[in-house]
Amino acid sequence: MLPLRRRQRRLLLRWGLGVPGAAVLLACVAACALAERAPAGRASALSAYFGTKSRYEDVARPRPGPGLGPAGSCAPLQLVALVRHGTRYPTAKQVGRLRALHGLLLRAGPPGPGLAGALARWPLAYEDWMDGQLVDKGRRDMRQLAARLAARFPPLLGRAGLARVRLVSSSKPRCVDSAVAFARGLWAQLHPGRPEPEPADVEFGPPEINDKLMRFFDHCEKFLAEVEKNDSALHQVEAFKNGPEMQKIIKKVAAILQVPISDLNADLIQVAFFSCSFDLAIRDIQSPWCDVFDTEDAQVLEYLNDLKQYWKRGHGYAINSRSSCSLFQDIFHHLDEAVEQRQRSQPISSPVIFHFGHAETLLPLLSLMGYFKDKEPLTAYNYKEQMNRQFRSGHIVPYAANLIFVLYHCEHAETPAREYQVQLLLNEEPLPFVHSPGTVAVYQELKDHYKDVLQSCHSDQECVLPNINITSDEL
C-alpha cells in the first residue's frame, strides 16, 4: 500500500489540481493534523484584536427575525446596503511576508522542540495565486447574511420582490464573488429544497460593476497624491513601529523564535500575528503563531493596524472621508427617489440595492458621517490614552461588515414630516445617529443634518489637486 502522503498526492493530481495546488492542499492537511494537537483557547482570546482581519462572528452579534423599525404603522419601503466582501485569502504582499518569516525560521537551523520548532514545522499554506481571493468561509459569510436579512425584511426580500433587487460590486473578484454568493444565499432562502440556478439565471441577474462608487479612492487624485502615494502621510504609523510598545514585542518574538532582533521588524511581527488570524478565519484552526502573542501584545498590534486605517481611511486626513461623498450622495439619491415615487403612488423602482465593496469603502463613508471620531487623534504617542477609543477597525469593518439604510413609510404618522423615517444598521445592529441618540430618525431631519455633504461636497472639486505643493491637513 502506498504511504499516506503519496496516496494523497496521487488523488489530488487525479482531480486535476496540478502539483502546486496539490502541494498547498497537502500542506493544509498537515496543518490541520498539527492544529488538533495545539492548545485550545489562545486564538479565541486574541480574536477581538485582529482589526480588519476579524471574523464577523467574533465582533458582530447578528439577530435573526423581524427588524426593529419605527413604532406604529410603519413598513420598510427601501433598503440600501453597503457590504464588505467575505473572508478572503491573504494578499500576495502578505503571502510574501509570511514566506519571508518562514524562511527566517528555517535558516535558524533544524527545528527543535518547543514553540520555535513547532513554528518551523508549521507549513506555509498560502501562495501568491490566492492573492486576496474569496474563500469558502467568505461565501458562507455572504449566504448567511442574505438568509438573515431575508428573514428580517420579508416585505422587501420576499419572492415577489426578487426581480427588483439590484446588486452593485467593485471589480475585485472577492467582491464580485461575494455578490454572487449573497445572491445564491438569498435565492436559496426563498426557494428551499430547490437546486440553485446559475448567477445569470437568477431573477435579479449578475452584479453591476461600478468602481467609481465602490472604489472611489482609486479615482480621487488628491487622495492618491497626498495619502496613498505619499510616504510621509503615515508617519504616525512608522513612528509607532519604532516606538517602545512595538520594540518590546519584537524583542520578545526574537527570543521565542531564537533569531537575532535585527532580523525582525514591525511588518514581520504584524504578519506573524495575522497568520494566527488567517488560519482561524479561513480554516478554523489554531496556528502555533497564536501562542507567540498574549492579549497585551494583541492590543498593541491592533493599535498599529488601527493607526494605519485611521490615517489612511478614517479621520486622519479630511480627503479620506471627503473622497466618499459621491457614494454618500448616491445612497440619498436612491432614498429620495423612493420617497418621490411613494408620494406619487408609483411602485418603488429599486426597493433593494446591495453594494459590495471593501473596508476601504466603508471606513471613509462612516467617517464622513461623523462616526467613531475620538476627541483626540490617534497618534504614535498616545497608545495608552486611546485604550478605550471608538475607532477600532475590527469592530467596525470585520469581514462581511455591512451598513444598511432602511427607509420606512409610516402610514399614520403624527405629522406629514414624520411620514418617512430611517434606521441605520451597522453589522445588523441599530446604529444611533450622530445628530441624535435615537436609532430611528425622521428622513428630512437626517437630510438636514448632512446638508453640507449632500449639497456642497462634489468629488470633482474635492479630489482636484491644488496648484501649489502643500502637505495633507492633519485633523
Where helices occur in 165-294 by DSSP H, the ranges are: 173-190, 211-214, 221-223, 235-241, 244-257, 266-283
Q: What is the pLDDT of residue 192?
A: 86
Cβ atoms of 386 and 303 closer than 8 Å: yes
Note the pLDDT tens digit of each residue in 241-267: 999 999 999 999 999 999 999 999 999
For the chain, give me the number of helices (H) and strands (E)?
22, 8
Above 70 in pLDDT, residue 9? no
Judge whether residue 389 has pLDDT over 60.
Answer: yes
Averaged confidence pLDDT in the chain: 88
SS3 318: helix
Q: How many angstroms separate the CA atoms of 272 and 471, rounded?
A: 34
CB 381 within 8 A of CB 417: no
d(CA 142, CA 358): 14
**What's the predicted TM-score (pTM) here?**
0.88
> Where does 50-89+132-231+317-463 sit in CATH, by number?
3.40.50.1240
Contact 134, 86 (CB under 8 A): yes
Query: In Å, how far are 62, 207, 423, 466 from 438, measured between CA atoms?
Result: 20, 34, 9, 40
**The pLDDT of residue 108 is above 50:** yes
% of the chain residues with pLDDT over 90: 73
Is a pLDDT exceeding 90 seen at residue 33?
A: no
Q: Is 219 a catalytic residue?
A: no
CB 122 within 8 A of CB 75: no
Of 3-17, 74-88, 330-344, minimum mean pLDDT range: 3-17
Tell me, what DSSP letter sits at residue 348? Answer: P
Kindly state the average pLDDT of the residues 398-408: 97
Q: How confident is the model at residue 36 (pLDDT cuts 50, 70, 90)?
A: very low
Which has the closest alpha carbon to 322: 221, 400, 428?
221
Predicted local confidence at residue 112, as pLDDT = 77
Burial label, 277 (beta-carbon count in 10 A; 0-12, 13-18, 19+): buried
Q: Report the pLDDT value the prediction gives residue 469, as an integer from 0 to 100.
A: 55
Q: Who's near 73: CB < 8 A, 6+ residues apart?
A: 410, 411, 412
Give residue 38's pLDDT: 37
pLDDT, tens only, 129-154: 999 999 999 999 999 999 999 999 98
pLDDT of residue 467: 73
Grid cell, residue 54, equals 476579524
Higher-confidence position of 61 and 337: 337
Q: Where are the beta strands (DSSP E) in 51-108?
A: 74-84
Query: Structural domain boundaries of the chain?
Result: 50-89+132-231+317-463, 92-131+234-307
Write the secondary structure of 379-426 as one string of H (helix), E (strand) and C (coil).
CCCCCHHHCCCCCCHHHHCCCCCEEEEEEEEECCCCCHHHHEEEEEEE
Q: Which amino acid is at 336?
A: D
Task: Tell how strand 352-357 and strand 440-442 pair up.
Answer: unpaired
- Of 85, 315, 358, 409, the catalytic one is 85
Three-state secondary structure call for residue 274: helix
- Look at 269 and 106; give whichever has higher pLDDT: 269
Please determine, for residue 207, whether its predicted confidence score (pLDDT) is greater than 60.
yes
Measured from the Cβ of residue 364, the count of other Cβ atoms closer than 10 Å reads 27
| Residue of 211, 405, 421, 422 whose CA lies nearest to 326 | 211
